[in-house]
Structure 1
């Protein structure tokens, strides 16, 4: 008699890999909604509690830092307890913490709840999910799947930012948080019921795999935290790992740490209404979906090192010219949002591909999680330093200029990654 899990898989009209990818997309989408909240709450929190910019920036910086640092350990624990258990745990922690955030009254409470607890919960559902799903469930279309799952972050912004900004400016910021909690609770049963670990659990091969394909052997079980630290130690001895981590540090410093955290406040200071400012980030999100999916398609076909060089170079140029975009008014900002949005997280698919090529598919989740940790360290640093610069100088000009110049450095670093690590993953003719 077939097992209930295998029977359920047969009810799905396509390869079940796409169901797993869809569930992962929804979980990452709503987790992205949580991470989008501080961008629209910064000004309301300052107004209600009379905080300066560094108070909120410090809490957001801690959140971003823990989001990154928890990822490698979450990926290591995932190898023991499974993706589904980790994703359920992350969703529950985030829902409880965001609900608790509605009761904050002091700066230390904001830092504790949003910086510490939400940071840990969001770190459990991080970039390792995309890497694990793509490399466990797909032989063909891996780059495309990574692009789709990475685009969930942008889609979360697209859906949540204007709505949260409108609610924060109307019924209040606490109501906007309750909306986020409700969304997390909606996706929770989908993960619990439909998420699966590997194709073999359902008697399937990975999508696009030939009949001779066998899944890679599971890694030997070691102490969960020791395993993550050993992965970091092995990576630090590898030149290409250092280059990938370095470019991703700059990636974080030029995306969610700076633009994702401060662009709305920066735009408000230029006389743009909060909802309109949030809409510019939504435009970034719309075009990031296009750019990230296209990047996944390109990663399956072209040299990932050169793709990274182009992405970082174009992002650097857009940030350097942001002051001119503000001078041009709404038209200039719209052009910036489109150009910058195409590049927001387009760096992820080629970075995942390079990580898998260097360290192997079964080890890619934890290695990539450490690279994401570097990304979030860069994001946390710039989130706080940009707020500090705003307090000292009265504007964000220096922060955006430095971030743009760092992107040009990252473009050069990408070209130094070993050529042998950049070959695209072959596509099975059966899945083409």
Structure 2
């Protein structure tokens, strides 16, 4: 029986990945708290900030396959370090963005590029390459779960900064914290796992990027999986960006929305770890069907119940369990289908569809609110997408196209 324990270099990488994800996703998770104060100060409708966030997600997704290809070829360390520097720069520019153009440059373009290098596709792919195949899903789940703790910590911290020093100074502080990603990137140096019987001159190693893309292009289960990830992106960005504003519209203060997002981050730790553990024991496509179905049921229940702080917090707990549980399962399926040699690029490709969904979730939420004063249409669309998320995973399997 092969030894499937985590090696010391992999444990070191898991710690580094968790810290980087905690910073990167923690700061991003709090962006929704800036919508109201920035919009009020500059007299913007919700659509201005929403469009910048939507552009961020679109840029992030569009360049993710390219960033992933660089990480596959040159290693994750340099890509993550450059991403950390861009992230810090983008937050500084956001702190002085008084026009929609500057907001789109900082939040949309620069932070979109930075997130492509400092988020799940690059970091989980690095972890996946270093882990034994039997422990790959669990390792990805651990990195995702530990990274989620940053989302829990950064939200109340950001709210305190906003209340005490204002939104612009809060962004400067966040920029300084994000700069820590640059030295942390050098913890990402665990070697790729190679099975004892595997030849260094396998056929898989000789495949070019172009050949891999041709194989992917003709593999229908991959594109059904991508369509499911579109659903995920739409829902999490719509809720993450617009729920604080939705609550303010209904008479709640900013603290309620912050606690909601913090609960999402906290229970996301449990959800992503559990998804990674379950993904090593059960069918990942079947688990994804359950996740999307439960999301739809949760949204319907939230909208039907009388709105109170307790229903808001319960919604945060349940959505947190379902929030990014899709990520280790989806990336694990991609790894099982195509192996790990080009995992960053292929995870980036499928992540692009996630970010197209994120674009529409962020942007349409703002458009719906500015046109009608509410979010009703987008809530209904989110519920319909949950059904789509269940259906498409009927056509997804984990059959290996390219073997490790």
TM exceeding 0.5: yes
Cα pair distance change 1:219/1:71, threshold 3 Å:
farther
Q: Is 1:238 the equivalent of 2:219?
A: yes
Q: Specify every segment of 5 or more residues in structure 2 that has no aligned partner in the other structure, as ranges.
A: 1-5
Structure 2 Cα separation of the partners of residues 264 and 244 of structure 1: 30
Q: Is 1:311 the equivalent of 2:304?
A: no
Tell me the matched-pair count: 396
Residue of structure 2 in register with 1:50 after alignment: 43
Helix, strand or coil: the match of 1:361? coil
Whether the 8 Å contact between 1:33 and 1:180 is mirrored in structure 2 is no
Whether the 8 Å contact between 2:72 and 2:345 is mirrored in structure 1 is no
Cα pair distance change 1:30/1:351, threshold 3 Å:
same
Superimposed CA distance per residue, residues 62-113 of structure 1 (whole angstroms, 9 cap, x where no aligned partner): 0111111221101101122211000100001111121122222211111111
Residue of structure 2 in register with 1:299 after alignment: 279
Q: How does 1:20-419 map to 2 (within 5 A)?
A: 20-139=13-132, 140-152=134-146, 154-192=148-186, 194-196=187-189, 198=191, 206=193, 211-212=196-197, 219=205, 227=209, 232=213, 234-255=215-236, 257-325=237-305, 327-418=306-397
Cα pair distance change 1:37/1:231, threshold 3 Å:
farther
Whether the 8 Å contact between 2:54 and 2:358 is mirrored in structure 1 is yes
Structure 1 Cα separation of the partners of residues 375 and 147 of structure 2: 24
Superimposed CA distance per residue, residues 7-55 of structure 1 (whole angstroms, 9 cap, x where no aligned partner): xxxxxx9611110111011112211133224201000001110000110
Whether the 8 Å contact between 2:25 and 2:119 is mirrored in structure 1 is no
Deviation at 1:213, TM superposition (A): 5.8
Task: Give the root-mean-square deviation of aligned CA atoms.
Answer: 2.4
Deviation at 1:364, TM superposition (A): 2.2
Cα pair distance change 1:419/1:117, threshold 3 Å:
closer
Tell me which stretches of 4 or more aligned residues in structure 1 moved more than 3 Å. 209-222, 229-234, 418-422
- Greater shift in the superposed pair: 87-96 or 23-32: 23-32
Superimposed CA distance per residue, residues 292-338 of structure 1 (whole angstroms, 9 cap, x where no aligned partner): 1001000000011110110010011112222234x241111122111
